A and B are shown apart, each in its own frame.
Chain A
């Protein structure tokens, strides 16, 4: 188990070096998929390596000339990395630009400064009341597939796509098992380690990640844990598109709380819900995006409330409260949050919101908020 965790930490501590090395080792082209909803299976079936784009750790420098300071951390960090040449090992990019205002800027910035060999703009529907949006989504995914075929010069057969979906579904079920064990034995992994496990799966080929997960699960199943009953269970929600600063995760645990489950993008959202393998694989991918992918502020599902889902997750895990992590300048989350907060108040759920910014974070202030939250749910 420790060996696997150490390999995972190695991958996530230097994603640039890891992905650049991967390209050399596998002799395959790398396609950067901007989070959150790109169906990576199609890229995989094209014989390419899809990796999910990440937020770097360095302050934004040259990138400020191309994106405004009120864009979110991953947007600014990604553009900064691109214009500084840090992403030169990537052969192409795919952007689902309907998910937020800032994602819409990328293709133009990239065309101007990076000129990738391959670039695809996906227009997946942001609202889906019926068949019209289903047809639209399917057409977009078909166009995505055609563009990859044009890029590689190879056709993507239904069989190869089904095989890729199988590998991705396997990854989803293994990740679900990791979470299942974590729910039963929350002390088994630190919150930071769980995030690293999910994140490494966004960087590594899924075949390799599946092997690591199988070994990890076996170690987790065998390991006996003494429950720390005095720890207060809390659920993490939000943090769309990007990694949460690990210091915050450590702080949560240092303050006597423990995270048995989450609703984070680099968390349970990424692997939730497998693709249905019966029938046409393209329709199945469209169906996952439209109906099965978890509720998200970037998509308009009006008959389900995000707050209800978060509260259910909290109660299912016997947790005492919810920590919302909002990325500063994330328009979808910011727009949804007042409604989310009202739902918490309506249901009497104790919730605290931590705002995370790429360069600046006052950990002392975050500590006071989290400690006050822990005191409130702990009855001090």
Chain B
């Protein structure tokens, strides 16, 4: 059976998923994209192949997705991350009707029909507010590791509002909140709620239909996940590794195309 790969070249991270002929994940890789997307895609594929104990020639079909989807030299085709996240989420959670994907530089809310295909979507494309990059800048401003941001949310005792959604202005606001004596945990929770408010607006445009899956790197931040759950008043289904949902979806489509070719 044909082995296929899905490669999601995001603005922050590049992810590769390798599937066997039965749609089982053989391996995956996540690495920083850096500034050379073509090289990142090649390296990520190499890493995933190594983990699976495979070599380049073993891959029958490669599908590129993500912001840098055009940079995947090995790709037989490219499909947008919107379609791929929907497909990946629907395979992991067949009852899904809405996907909230917050990646490195953009956020998307995707409506999914009963057939697991995209029905409608919204995405931000003019500013990186509320995305992974935003969280990175906020973590720097708080002088904490990005991984600690989620835990800080749960240690919060006092409500603090972070009203600016512009990354640059929000950083200034965080500094002024410090100056006014607010605690790191409270500010971190304020940041998570600010992201949730923004996502709520996008969910409103697409229409909330349960079940709701959250994918993308920001889904690793339990504070943001909880803040969104509070806003939309429903639980989010978060995959074990939310960052590879797009690459997984790309690999599924690659697999379907391989099957169609073989007949």
Residues of A at the B interface (CB closer than 8 Å) are 345, 350-351, 360, 362, 364-366, 368-369, 371-372, 375-376, 379-380
Contacts and interface: CB of A to CB of B under 8 A. Distances in A.
B119 A376 contact: yes
B126 A365 contact: yes
Given A365-B106, A368-B125, A375 B81 contact: no
A376 B123 CA distance: 15
Contacts of A376: 83, 117-120
List the 10 shortest-distance A-B pairs measured between CB atoms, nearest first: A365-B125, A372-B82, A372-B80, A375-B83, A376-B118, A371-B80, A362-B125, A368-B80, A380-B83, A372-B83
10 contacts: A351-B120, A365-B106, A365-B126, A368-B82, A369-B123, A369-B125, A372-B121, A376-B83, A379-B117, A380-B253
Nearest to B207: A345
Contact of A366 (B82, B83, B121, B125): B125
Contacts of B81: 368
A360 B126 CA distance: 9
B67 interface: yes
Nearest to B257: A380
B12 interface: no
Nearest to A338: B205
B208 interface: no
Given A364-B67, A365-B106, A380-B253, A375 B79 contact: yes
Contacts of B120: 345, 350-351, 376
Contacts of B123: 365, 368-369
Given A368-B67, A375-B82, A375-B83, 10 more contacts: A345-B120, A345-B207, A362-B125, A364-B67, A365-B106, A366-B125, A368-B80, A369-B125, A371-B79, A376-B117
Nearest to A328: B126
> Which interface residue of B67, B125, B253 has the most chain A CB atoms within 10 A?
B125
Interface residues of B, number: 17
Given A380-B83, A380-B253, A372 B125 contact: no
Contacts of A362: 125-126
Interface string B108-120: 0000000001111
A354 to B, nearest CB: 10
B118 A375 contact: yes
Contacts of A345: 120, 207
> Which interface residue of A350, A351, A366, A376 has the most chain B CB atoms within 10 A?
A376
A351 B118 CA distance: 12
Interface string B200-211: 000000010000
Interface string B76-87: 000111110000
Contacts of B67: 364, 368
A372 B126 contact: no
> Which interface residue of A345, A365, A380 has the most chain B CB atoms within 10 A?
A380
Contacts of B125: 362, 364-366, 368-369
A241 B213 CA distance: 40
> Which interface residue of B79, B80, B117 has the most chain A CB atoms within 10 A?
B80
A368 B107 CA distance: 12
Contacts of B117: 376, 379
Contacts of B253: 380
B70 to A, nearest CB: 9
A362 B117 CA distance: 26
B210 to A, nearest CB: 18
Given A380-B79, A380-B253, A372 B118 contact: yes
A380 B117 CA distance: 8
A362 B124 CA distance: 10
A365 B207 CA distance: 21
A380 B250 CA distance: 11
A375 B80 contact: yes
Contacts of A368: 67, 80-82, 123, 125
A368 B70 CA distance: 11
Interface string B146-173: 0000000000000000000000000000
B64 to A, nearest CB: 12
A351 B119 CA distance: 9
A366 B83 CA distance: 15
Contacts of B207: 345
Contacts of A351: 120
Nearest to B253: A380
A352 B20 CA distance: 35
A148 B125 CA distance: 47
B161 to A, nearest CB: 24
A365 B253 CA distance: 22
Nearest to B81: A368
A350 B121 CA distance: 10
A246 B249 CA distance: 32
Contacts of A369: 121, 123, 125
B208 to A, nearest CB: 13
> Which interface residue of A350, A362, A368, A379 has the most chain B CB atoms within 10 A?
A368
Interface string B122-159: 01011000000000000000000000000000000000
Nearest to B11: A364
Contacts of B106: 365
Contacts of B82: 368, 372, 375
A156 to B, nearest CB: 48
Contacts of B80: 368, 371-372, 375
A333 to B, nearest CB: 16
Nearest to B68: A364
Contacts of A366: 125
A120 B97 CA distance: 54
B119 to A, nearest CB: 7
A351 B206 CA distance: 12
